[in-house]
Amino acid sequence: MKKILILSFYYYPDLCAGSFRCTAFVNSLKKIIKNDDIVDIITTMPNRYHSFNVKTKNYEKLSDNISISRIDVGSHKSGFVDQSISFSKFLRGAYKLAFNKNYDIVFATSSRLMTAFLGSLIANKHKAMLYLDMRDIFLDTMQSIFERRNSKLKYFLPLFKVIEKNTIKRANHINLVSEGFLNYFKQINPNNIYSFYTNGIDDEFLNFDFTKEKKTDKKIITYAGNIGEGQGLENIIPQLANILSNYEFWIIGDGGRKDKLLKELDKYNIKNVFVKKPVNRKELLYIYKDSDILFLHLNDYEAFEKVLPSKIFEYAATNKFIIAGVNGFAKKFIENNISDSLVFKPNNEKDFIRKFKNIIIKDNINRSEFIKRYKRENIMDNMAKEVYSL
């Protein structure tokens, strides 16, 4: 008999990479656990976007031996301070729920470090094995942002450095969603065991026909996801929309920099960009279907040269042409693995223009080999076996 705790700040029906990833992981774990095993999931009530509300239960049984507890952390607009407040509520609530449970394995999937830190605290309490699934390098990202803005929050970085070091050293096994993270983590703990289970393509995308039915003179370029500091859309979308005046830009999402994006669009009197609220995945499939090109962008921070955005896999599965403003590992990954794509330097419309002039957008793009290789179910099946074997 094994008692397993799963910690994730996001879970279905929330709309974000962490939610999709953890939900898929649990579905894979269901296949291999035994009848007398117990799996507890501790997460939050849906809160990723303050403009997307969906009702769900605080507690429910997913099966005879899998339960989920959701902590209400309130809504937030992705700012550093309000996210910190939300996470402090999650930390207190989760630790209280897990305090007397005596777990054998603690699995924490984390992009902002603190869920991983919470996992280490609970693993220490129960002397449990700790498996960390690291989806981002929080400290590296914050350092880039704070220094660029000369924010007073940079004085908290030494504290986060201590938390990061102790958390990484406590782990028995660490998965990194991007191989670009490896050198960073090895500098902290060179002796740990590392895996590389990336994000992947969910079944919804495998069983959907994305062929565009309505041929119109106005082509559509779509971005779907967070509108935050990391994406830097306000630095590039107005410029590209001005250049590509014969295209419509659809921005589907929300986030801390949405207001800044809207102000920039208004400042330059841009009329061909439409910013829309987040939608559920079923609706998103039809938006992708009606699109001609899918767009991705990361801000030009050094920290983002290590990441591999989950959106890459989702976009590739549609067989639509992809435009990505990325550097570093993501750039190499797209160029080496995804056909019919254009990669340009972030925040650099001149580089975009130079490359866009030479592209040919086909109607019959086929990425079947990529889709087969990065099917989420297969990736999570292997990861779940690794976690269960601890």
* Structural contact between residues 253 and 280, judged by C-beta atoms closer than 8 angstroms: no
Query: 358-363: which pairs have CB atoms within 8 A and are 24 or more residues apart?
Result: 359/321, 361/292, 361/293, 361/321, 362/321
What does the pLDDT look like over 357-376, one tens digit per residue?
Answer: 999 998 889 999 999 999 99
**pLDDT higher at 49 or 366:** 366
Burial class (CB in 10 A: 0-12, 13-18, 19+), 255: buried
Q: Report pLDDT for 187.
A: 96
**Angle formed by the axes of helices 157-170 and 114-126, nearest 10°:** 50
DSSP conformational letter for 253: E
Residue 203 predicted with pLDDT over 90? yes
The label of the residue with tokens 């774990």 reads 29
Alpha helices in the chain (DSSP H): 17-30, 80-98, 114-126, 138-149, 157-170, 182-188, 203-206, 237-243, 258-267, 281-290, 311-317, 328-337, 349-356, 368-373, 376-388
Q: 204: pLDDT confidence band, cut at 50, 70 and 90?
A: very high
The pLDDT of residue 214 is 73
Peptide bond into 13 cis (omega under 30): yes
| pLDDT category of residue 166 using cuts at 50, 70 and 90 | very high
pLDDT number for residue 250: 98
Question: Averaged over 202-221, what is the pLDDT?
Answer: 89
Predicted confidence at residue 218, as pLDDT, reads 84
The maximal CA–CA distance of the chain, rounded, in angstroms, is 63
Question: What DSSP letter does each residue of 111-137 carry, written as one string?
Answer: SSSHHHHHHHHHHHHHT-EEEEEE-S-
Kindly report, residue by residue over 113-165, the tens digit of the pLDDT. Answer: 999 999 999 999 999 999 999 999 988 888 888 777 777 777 888 999 999 99
User: Is the CB of residue 130 less than 8 Å from the CB of residue 108?
Assistant: yes
Both tokens of 134, joined, read: 């690291």
Q: What are phi and psi of 43, to 5 degrees?
A: -145, -160
- In 10 A of CB 327, how many CB atoms? 21
Q: Which residue has the higher pLDDT, 174 or 112?
A: 174
Please count the helices (runs of H) and the strands (runs of E) in the chain.
15, 14
Identity of the residue numbered 306: K
Residues in contact with 239: Cβ distance below 8 Å, sequence separation at least 6, in sequence order: 349
pLDDT at 50 over 60: no
In this prediction, residue 49 carries a pLDDT of 59
Is the pLDDT at 195 greater than 80? The verdict is yes
pLDDT, averaged across the chain: 93
Q: If DSSP codes are grouped into helix, strand and coil, which group holds residue 63?
A: strand
- 9 pLDDT above the threshold of 70: yes
Q: How many CB atoms lie within 10 A of CB 269?
A: 8
Residue 350 has pLDDT above 90, yes or no: yes
Average pLDDT over every residue of 38-54: 80
Q: Which two tokens stand for residue 80?
A: 């550093």
> Which token pair is 59?
């507690």
| Pairwise pLDDT comparison (76 vs 44), residue with the higher score | 44
Point out which residues pair with 175 in neighbouring strands. 133, 195
Residue 216 has pLDDT above 80, yes or no: no
pLDDT band, residue 79 (cuts 50/70/90): low
Six-digit token string for 233: 């859309």
Q: What percent of the chain has pLDDT over 90?
A: 82
Q: How far apart are CA 143 and CA 326, in angstroms?
A: 19
What span, in angstroms and rounded, lies between the C-alpha atoms of 327 and 305?
5
Residue 47 has what pLDDT? Answer: 77
Query: Is a pLDDT exceeding 80 seen at residue 33?
Result: yes
Q: Using 50, 70 and 90 to split pLDDT, how confident is the model at 321?
A: very high
User: Which domains does the chain carry?
Assistant: 3-199+376-388 (3.40.50.2000), 203-373 (3.40.50.2000)
pLDDT at 52: 56
- Residues 326, 307: Cα–Cα separation, whole Å: 10
Q: Is the pLDDT of residue 76 over 60?
A: no
The predicted-structure confidence for 277-313, as pLDDT tens digits, reads as follows 999 999 999 999 999 999 999 999 999 999 999 999 9
Rounded Cα distance, 290 and 219, in Å: 9
Terminal CA-CA length for the chain: 13
Produce one character per residue of 120-147: b if its CB has 16 or more CB atoms within 10 Å, e if not: bbbbebbebbbbbbbbbbbbbbbbbbbe
What is the pLDDT confidence band of residue 66, given thresholds at 50, 70 and 90? very high
pLDDT of residue 82: 72
